[in-house]
Amino acid sequence: MSKLKKLIKNPELFLNDFIQKRNIDTSSISSIARTTLSKNFFNVKSKEIVDKKATLITSHTKLFTKTIHLLHTGEGLTHGPSHLEQWIGSFTRSDDSFAILIRNKALFDWAFDKYPELSIVYARGANDVENILNKLPFLLAIYYFSNTGNLIHTLRYNRYKHIFLGHGDSDKAASAHKFFRVYDEIWVSGQAHIDRFKNSNFNVDHIKFIKIGRPNLKNILSHQLKLESKDSSKVKRIIYLPTWEGVYEENNYSSVHLSCVMLNEVLKKFNYNLSIKFHPVMGSRDKTLKALPNEVSEAFVNNREQVSVFDKTVPLDSFIGSGDAFICDISAAVSECIATLAPVFLYMPNDRKIEISNSNMNYSDYTYTFSNIEQLLGLIDSVIVKGSDPLAEMRYKALDYLLTIDATLNDEFLNQLKIISKDSTLLNNDRSRVIQ
């Protein structure tokens, strides 16, 4: 038997031969451990061998179990990892079983390695998706993080509740448009997102909105609300969180073209610590921006103790709590930063028309807006150095408006999952019903 055939047909025999030929001491290896090791080794290797052209991979999925919730992502490696990382932790905190349906092979491979303990399936086409759904007899709801074309393959099933979760909260035009009519429910962070729809030019009366707060920011929000005041004597840290360049240049609201000079001026004038995280998809349209993180790191090579550049894959909620102030662009990062109640300096380009979905609070109500470096330096001097922070109270109002404090602290997201799970008791009585 060749090594390859032995690996595929009898992985434990392959492992035994491997151990013997290398004179490995097996006295401390239990039979269970040997079997587990061989299975794990086989799973990794066989996946590499047999699924390069596969359109359906179920080996990492618990089919025919009581899986009630299905997370759907039609994204690839550019957007997919950040979307999944934002929500997987919140679903894991629930007592309900869930699975992840991934439509991109590269993203499936990433998720397979990142979350080996989770139930994950790869299905490329409509028939593949149907094959999977037929093997999840207890499924009640499908959740979506973004509007991709391939989600039509799940949306066509009336027997499920289709819920949009999104991947952030911002006033960008993509936050409220007619495509959202396809969902049964839209779970939003706060009233701001609902108002964006109400202020749009189409009817949304039939859309059901549910405010769930921001589950991934619960710890940060809870901590900040308990603080009476920050220690003004400590060294300040400013966190820079620019957005990406957008699909089209006219919708490019990013400040990255200013970043090297702007951050150098901030460091030179105020001597604060700087943390920088570029958007995960920066450089998707403008390839020249892919090298920017390295260029910024090199620009501050002599200030490594003060300036740090986070990898683009690091989640915001893992470090924004350390910020004393933020420099942001028009993006969902603003609402993340508001959870800290720290001042936000927002870049507003003045060389183009800004198309946004307006809520009932303007950015200028709770952030300090600037259009050039000189304005930014003046605002930092006034707000942080001199301590004049007239928008402090408005940030608290914006916090509740954007993220719904009570819903976040009281785990409304988990409560809504439980409501859906209760429907599973009726499943066997009438599986063909349309979920209202």
The whole domain housing 340 covers 219-403
Report d(CA 335, CA 171) in Å as an integer: 10
415 and 340 in a common domain: no
Residues 94 and 197 in one domain: yes
Residue 245 counted as domain residue: yes
pLDDT of 186-199, one tens digit each?
999 999 988 888 88
> Could you give the maximum distance between any two Cα atoms of the chain, in Å?
78
Same domain, yes or no: 80 and 157: yes
Alpha-carbon distance values, 157 to 204, 208, 354 (Å): 22, 18, 37
Q: Does residue 93 share a domain with residue 170?
A: yes
> Same domain, yes or no, for 89 and 146?
yes
3-state DSSP of the chain: CCHHHHHHHCHHHHHHHHHHHCCCCCCCCCHHHHHHHHHHHHHHHHHHHHCCCCCEECCCCCCCCCCCEEEEECCCCCCHHHHHHHHHHHHHCCCCCEEEEECCHHHHHHHHHHCCCCEEEEECCHHHHHHHHCCCCCCCEEEECCCCHHHHHHHCCCCCEEEECCCCCCCEHHHCCHHHHHCCEEEECCHHHHHHHHCCCCCCCCCEEEECCCHHHHHHHHHHHHCCCCCCCCCCEEEEECCCCCCCHHHCCCCHHHHHHHHHHHHHHHCCEEEECCCCCCCCCCHHHHHHHHHHHHHCHHHCCCEEECCCCCCHHHCHHHCCEEEECCCCHHHHHHCCCCCEEEECCCCCCCCECCCCCCHHHHCEEECCHHHHHHHHHHHHHCCCCCCHHHHHHHHHHHHCHHHHHCCHHHHHHHHHHHHHHHCCCCCCCCCC
385-436 confidence digits (pLDDT tens): 999 999 999 999 999 999 999 999 999 999 999 999 887 554 444 444 433 3
Are 418 and 314 members of one domain?
no
> CA 120 → CA 48, 57, 157, 421, distances in Å?
16, 9, 20, 20
- The position carrying tokens 């920088």 is 276
- 12, part of any domain: no
Question: How many domains are there within the chain?
Answer: 2
- Span 68-115, pLDDT tens digits: 999 999 999 888 998 999 999 999 999 888 999 999 999 999 999 999
Q: Domain for residue 10, yes or no?
A: no
Per-residue pLDDT averaged across 305-312, rounded? 90
Q: Are residues 203 and 287 in the same domain?
A: no
**Helices 292-299 and 259-270, axial angle in degrees (round to 10):** 30
Task: Examine the domain organization and report whether 260 and 399 are in the same domain.
Answer: yes
Confidence (pLDDT) at 134:
92
* Amino acid at position 169, single letter: D
Q: How many CB atoms are located within 10 Å of the residue 148 CB? A: 17
Averaged pLDDT for residues 212-218? 93
Q: Are residues 227 and 122 in the same domain?
A: no
**Residue whose token pair is 């605002």:** 379
CATH code, 326: 3.40.50.2000
Residues in Cβ contact with 354 at an 8 Å cutoff, skipping those fewer than 6 apart: 253, 330, 348
Residue 242 forms part of a structural domain:
yes
CA distances from residue 36 to 8, 11, 404 in whole angstroms, order as listed = 15, 11, 46
181 lies in some domain? yes
From the list 213, 166, 165, 194, the residue with the least C-alpha distance to 404 is 213
Rounded Cα distance, 43 and 60, in Å: 9
Are 235 and 345 in a shared domain? Answer: yes
| Residue at 6 is within a domain | no
Report yes or no on 431 lying in a domain: no
pLDDT in tens, 106-146: 999 999 999 999 999 999 999 999 999 999 999 999 999 98
Q: How confident is the model at residue 49 (pLDDT cuts 50, 70, 90)?
A: very low
CB-CB contact of 208 with 417 (8 Å)? no
In a domain, 162, yes or no: yes
Query: pLDDT > 70: what percent of the chain?
Result: 81
Residue 316's pLDDT is 87
Do 184 and 397 touch, CB atoms closer than 8 A?
no
| 206 shares its domain with 246 | no
Residue from 333, 358, 356 nearest 346 by CA: 333
Do 106 and 147 share a domain, yes or no?
Answer: yes
Bridge-based pairing of strands 161-164 and 69-73 is: unpaired
Nearest alpha-carbon partner for 162 in 70, 248, 233, 45: 70
pLDDT of residue 55: 86
